[in-house]
Structures are given as structure tokens and as C-alpha cells.
Amino acid sequence: MDSQQTAAPTLSYTADPDKLQAFMRKMVDDMSAAISGALVIVGDKLGLYRALAEIGPASSLDLANRTGMAERYVREWLAAQAASGFVDFDADTGLFSMSPEQQMALADRDSPVFVASAFQLIGSVYIDEPKIAEAFRSGAGVGWHEHHECLFRGTEQFFRTGYRAHLVAEWLPAMPGVVEKLQAGAKVADIGCGAGASTIVMAQAFPNSRFYGYDYHGASIDRAREAALEAGGPANLHFEVTAAKDVPGADYDLVACFDCLHDMGDPLGAARRIRQMLKPDGVFMLVEPFAGETLADNLNPVGRMYYSASTMICTPGSLAQEVGTALGAQAGPKRLSDLLTEAGFSRVRVATETPFNLIIEARP
């Protein structure tokens, strides 16, 4: 050993055997979940879930023939899926199938609870772990654009599910007068739009309004334009590469930020710019990850997911930008409301919420 180095101190503890056994069961569950996520990506990407849902009870050979895949791989994949509870297995017939609930979550991309794409997002953090570990040492940031492309497509597909299910039906109606303006014809900015999932949903729902999607990440804007064409090319839709502080124009009836304000280096500066962009009777709709007011409030499965994402994606992304506020994905309603008040908004309230989102309404 180098003379400059010292041995790490020896830990001293007395573990309760029953508590240790229970904790190790939890660790095995988590390890199983962590490694099985890659198989969800494979099943979604290769259409295995969809095919199994379509053909009903099937053997591995049936599914392999239906999808054109190698049977030996399909057999092992099905065994893993059955062990995870993602598909059902009938021991008497030796056949695999999917319940309606499993199909909604894993096989139907138009389902309001489709979550298979989330695992692609999650996979990106494993790929990018070395960059984040180094950032722990240096304190530097890791920009959104520095992540693996799995993050971009996984984010688009995962968040699109929620936007399709809630944005037009619940979130916009929760803010008085907004839907009426959109139906009549309004000017709308979607700042930090990413691949445009939220912008496209609104543009399709309100053809009389004009929608402008802005994001600093050029590759995301390229994907947004591609997605718009896939959605039929709405004529009331425009995407542009620009940072939040540089968003052009004024007299917007509605400005929205979907799950991105906390990722910005200067969320206060962005909110001030948004305040300037709005008409006197305009509305800022801020959609953020659901959170309680304290750390203790967020020690639950949803908070666990969001704190983990914040550690690997959101906080490094903010630290890579000017100011580097690093608000974090679990800021909570009071901190967000205080920020909006400081930015110049006079009326701020939580308009509605879901188990995964806070929807905050702010008016000049």
C-alpha cells in the first residue's frame, strides 16, 4: 500500500437476521426488476407483446413464427416475462397469454397506461452512468444533449401517453377560459417541447389555434418535425430551435412547459421571460412531476422514480447550463409557486394533479 494511503475504516454493526432477510428479499426484487427492464425494451421493439396479445394463448414456437424471430430466444424471453408477471403462463397447456391489463400496459401504444417505453428511458441512465459518476466527482453538469439517444425516444413515447390521456380532457379544462380561447383561436408556445408530443396533441385538438414548439436541442426539434408529419402534418404547428430565454414573440394566450422547467439552468429567468410573452389575460400552464412539500412526503414509489431520474438526468442537465439552479424533479408545489410569484405572476395555484404530475396555473 502507498504510504500516502490509509486503509478504510472497518464498519461495525450487528444486523437483525429477520430484518436482513427482509431487506435482501427487497434487493432481489429490485435486481430482478432492473435486469428485466431490458427485456421489456426488446419485447416492445420487436413487437413481441403486440403479437402475443393478437394471437392469444401461444407457445414460443407460435410467437416466433408470428414475429419471424428465433424460437430459442423467444422461449427464454417468454419464461422471463412469465416470471415477472408481465405475461401469463398456463402450466397445464404450456401456453403463454396476456391479460387485458397486461395488454394495456405493454402491448397497446395508444392505451392511456402504456408504459413499455419508460424502460427505454430507464435504459439510458445505465448507458450514461459513467458520465454521471464523473460528474459526482467534478461537480460539473451533463447536458440533455450529452445523453444516449434512448433517453430522447423513451421520453417522447412515455410522456406522450400521459399527454394523450390527460392534457386535452383534464388539464386544459382545469384552467377557466383556456379551452374556449383555444377553440376560438389562440397563440400558444410550448417551451422545452422536446420531441413535440405535447405540442402535437394540442395542435390536433384545437385546429383554430397556432402552436409554436421551442427547444434548445436540435435533434429533438428534428424529431418533433418528423413526428408532426407522422401525425398528418397539422398546418397550425411550427417547431423552432431556441433556448427558453430566447423564445421570440409576444402576445401569447397560453405558454406551457411540460416536465421541463426543473431541467432548466435558470428556471426563474425562464419564468420571467414567459411572463413577458403573455397577454395581460394570458395563462402559463406549468406541468411538473408530482411531489409533496418535503422529502418525507416523497419517500414512496413515485418519489423514488423521480428522485432517481433527477439524479441521473434532471440535476446534471440543469448544472450544465447558465446559473445551474438544479431545482430537481421533486421541487413540490410551494417551491414552484414561490418561483412563479418571484417571476412576476400575481395569481398562482395548483389547477389539478395526477399521481405523476402537478399542473400549476399562473396568470399575470
121-172, pLDDT tens digit by residue?
Answer: 999 999 999 999 999 999 999 999 999 999 999 999 999 999 999 999 999 9
Strand order in the sheet with 187-191: 237-241, 210-215, 187-191, 252-258, 278-289, 357-363, 347-353
Task: Note the pLDDT of residue 1.
Answer: 40
pLDDT for residue 10? 86
55 class by beta-carbon count within 10 Å (0-12 exposed, 13-18 middle, 19+ buried): middle
Q: Which domains does the chain have, with CATH numbers?
A: 30-109 (1.10.10.10), 165-363 (3.40.50.150)
Give the pLDDT of residue 3: 46
- The chain-wide mean pLDDT, for the chain, equals 96
d(CA 275, CA 90): 59
How many CA atoms within 13 Å lie on the side-chain side of 6? 3
Q: Tell me what pLDDT residue 7 has.
A: 72
pLDDT block averages, 10 residues each, the chain of length 364? 63 93 97 96 98 97 98 98 98 98 97 95 97 98 96 94 96 98 98 98 98 97 97 97 94 98 97 97 98 97 97 98 97 97 98 96 98
